[in-house]
Amino acid sequence: MTVLGLIAGVSICIGLVFWVIGAPLILPFALIESLLLVIAFLYHARSVCEFDEITLNERHLVVRQERQGQTKEHQFTRGLFRVSMTRGPRPLVRVTESGKHVELGEWLLPQKRLSLYKQLAEGLMAAPAGARVA
């Protein structure tokens, strides 16, 4: 936040100098630039706080996702859920059970996404009989 304030302050000071020497149109552009910088910073800060938390215990797979400040928790019964990869240019890990599903790995690199899929599939294989991996 300090760096953001420093950048905006320098830009506004430069605009003020130009206003004093007779170029008044520079200051409004400096203010607009600073405002847009703050908006971009806040947008980025908000998206950085989004996450997926995965817990696999003896009975359930619990996926907690936070998106735009809202947390959703998805619970799947171990032995009944399926793990697969979605199709498309950026395949995600999909967990499905009885019509409900959740997609994971949005921010992971492709190799890490594949690793997540394999780890969940291995966890599923260690589950009771009847579980399926797609």
pLDDT score for 26: 93
Q: Model confidence at 130, in pLDDT bands (50, 70, 90)?
A: very low
Only one residue has tokens 């430069």, namely 14
Token readout for 100 is 């409900």
Q: Model confidence at 125, in pLDDT bands (50, 70, 90)?
A: low
Helix (H, G, I), strand (E, B) or coil at 79: coil
pLDDT score for 73: 93
pLDDT of 124 > 80? The answer is: no
Whether the Cβ atoms of residue 70 and residue 121 lie closer than 8 Å to each other = no
Neighbours of 54 (CB within 10 A): 19
What per-residue string of b and e applies to 5-32 under the rule 16 or more CB within 10 Å gives b? eeebeebeeebeebeeeeeeebbeebee
Residue spans of the domains in the chain: they are 2-48, 51-133
pLDDT score for 20: 95
- pLDDT tens track for 7-43: 999 999 999 999 999 999 999 999 999 999 999 988 8
pLDDT of 131 > 70? The answer is: no
User: Looking at per-residue confidence, does 20 or 134 come out higher?
Assistant: 20
